[in-house]
């Protein structure tokens, strides 16, 4: 199975900072990648689909980029409500797999 | 209101069985593929199974093949996961999720906890 490796596993940043999370696939997955946000005690929420498309209703400070094996989720200006764990997920072939998650905290 | 509500979780002994249900409302259930995704407490997410809109195709992660069965009832707007031969490593929060047209999980239930322990 294709493995998804996220980095960093956790980060601490200040409100207003630009935050970047990376996700690397062990093989080329084209743009078949989604990003999710999970707040404590809640279900995940779709943020970005097809690597770079913003889901309806998601703030524009979130953006995604990349293709092939290397992908990035960027929060342009970190807000207190962005405290969460972020997961990438590939869907090029079954089994669909997730990255191990990146926990974002406020400094 | 558009929502998914899971039920049926609980404590079960190793080797036991459990049936999870997911009630869908607020959208045309029969128009969507559906999935089960699980999460070991404080750990990551794992896709478990998919079922096509009409139930004619089903797919599973290797670790549950032959033990779990996904099914749906488009009249009752419900998704199910029959889990047999449960093991300790199946302990997790189980979410039902809607799969949108670009193969993303665009809607999730609140989750139901399954604990496999003697």
A-facing residues of B in 12-51 (CB < 8 A) are: 44-47, 50
Question: Are the beta carbons of A55 and B106 separated by less than 8 Å?
Answer: yes
Look at A96 and B100 and tell me if their CB atoms are within 8 Å: no
Mutation test of the interface with chain A: which of B44, B62, B93, choosing the one with the most A Cβ atoms within 10 A?
Answer: B44
Report chain B's mean pLDDT, rounded to a whole number: 97
pLDDT of B43: 82
Rounded Cα distance, A6 and B69, in Å: 31
Average pLDDT (B19-26) is 98
Chain B residues inside the 8 Å CB shell of A89: 45, 47, 104-105
pLDDT for residue B102: 86
| Inter-chain touch A89–B106, beta carbons under 8 Å | no
Q: With beta carbons less than 8 A apart as the criterion, state whether B48 and B60 touch.
A: yes
Smallest Cβ–Cβ distance between A43 and the set B46, B62, B108 belongs to: B108
- Going along chain B, which residue ranges are E strands? 3-7, 10-12, 18-25, 33-39, 45-51, 58-60, 68-73, 78-83, 92-99, 105-108, 112-116
Residue among B30, B32, B107 at smallest CA distance from B76: B30
> Tens of pLDDT along A7-16?
999 999 999 9
Report the residue of chain B nearest A42, measured CA to CA.
Answer: B110
Write the pLDDT tens digit of every residue in A89-105.
Answer: 999 999 999 999 999 99
A54 contacts chain B (CB < 8 A): no
Q: Quick one: what percent of chain B has pLDDT higher than 70?
A: 100
Q: How far apart are CA A20 and CA A7, in angstroms?
A: 9
pLDDT of amino acid B95: 98
Share of chain B above pLDDT 90, in %: 95
**pLDDT tens-digit readout, A27-80:** 999 999 999 999 999 999 999 999 999 999 999 999 999 999 999 999 999 999
Render pLDDT for B43-94 as a digit per residue (tens, 0 to 9). Answer: 899 999 999 999 999 999 999 999 999 999 999 999 999 999 999 999 999 9
């Amino acid at each position: 199975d294709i493995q998804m490796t996220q980095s960093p596993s956790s980060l601490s940043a200040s409100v207003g900072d630009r935050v970047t999370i990376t996700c690397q696939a062990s093989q080329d997955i084209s743009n078949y990648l989604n990003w999710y946000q999970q707040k404590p005690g809640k279900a995940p929420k779709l943020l970005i689909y097809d690597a770079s498309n913003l889901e309806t209703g998601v703030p524009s400070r979130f953006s995604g980029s990349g293709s092939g094996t290397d992908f990035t989720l960027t929060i342009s200006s970190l807000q207190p409500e962005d405290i969460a764990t972020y997961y990438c997920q590939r869907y090029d072939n079954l089994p669909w797999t997730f990255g191990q998650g990146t926990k974002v905290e406020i400094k | 209101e558009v929502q998914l509500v899971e039920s049926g979780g609980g404590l079960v002994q190793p080797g036991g069985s459990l049936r999870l249900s997911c009630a869908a409302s607020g959208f045309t259930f029969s128009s969507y593929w559906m999935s089960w995704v699980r999460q070991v407490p404080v750990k990551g997410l794992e896709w478990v199974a998919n079922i096509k809109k009409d139930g004619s195709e089903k797919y599973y992660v290797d670790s549950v093949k032959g033990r779990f069965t996904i099914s749906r009832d488009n009249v009752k707007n419900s998704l199910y996961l029959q889990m047999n031969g449960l093991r300790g490593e199946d302990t997790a929060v189980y979410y039902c999720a809607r799969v949108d047209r670009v193969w993303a999980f665009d809607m999730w239930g609140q989750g139901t906890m399954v604990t496999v322990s003697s």
